[in-house]
Structure 1
Amino acid sequence: MEFFVKGVDVFVKLLILIGAGLGGWGVVNLLEGYGNDNPGAKSQGMKQFMAGVGIVLVATLLIPELKGLFA
């Protein structure tokens, strides 16, 4: 079971990194869209940012509950 708990911890950290990267990329696209007055880039940037936030929330709130299932 210790292997599973460590695996969940690594998975959470990996998902947080992916979500933060996607959110950061979204912010860059959003700011680029505002700078160039490009509605397409603004829309894409907001979608990427919100997807990154969603991934981080899932990684921090839901995935750690898996540890409790096998404890």
Structure 2
Amino acid sequence: MEFFASAVDTLKVLVMAIGCGLGAWGIVNLLEGYGADNPASKSQGMKQLMAGGGIVLLGMNLIPLLANLF
């Protein structure tokens, strides 16, 4: 059972890292869009930033609930 709890913690960290990476990539695209005055890049950056934030919230709230399943 301890292995399963450790695996859930590792999955939580991994999902949050992916979300942070996507959010950082979104910030870069957003700033690039503002610098070049490119509306498409700004839109894509905002979408990536919001998606990254959603994935981080998913990792923080939903993944720890997996530990209580078994």
Aligned to 1:67: 67
Amino acid at match of 2:17: L
Equivalent residues, number: 70
Amino acid at match of 1:31: L
Q: Which runs of 5+ in 1 are unaligned?
A: none
Partner SS state of residue 52, structure 2:
helix
Give the aligned CA root-mean-square deviation in angstroms: 0.6
The whole-number CA distance in structure 1 between the counterparts of 2:9 and 2:62 is 12
Share of identical aligned residues, percent?
Answer: 64
Q: Which runs of 5+ in 2 are unaligned?
A: none
Post-superposition Cα deviations, 1:9-62, rounded to whole Å, max 9, x if no partner, equal 000000111100100000010011011110010010001101100100000001
**TM-score when normalising by structure 1:** 0.95
The whole-number CA distance in structure 2 between the counterparts of 1:65 and 1:11 is 12
Amino acid at match of 2:43: S
**TM-score when normalising by structure 2:** 0.96
The whole-number CA distance in structure 2 between the counterparts of 1:17 and 1:46 is 18
Aligned to 2:2: 2
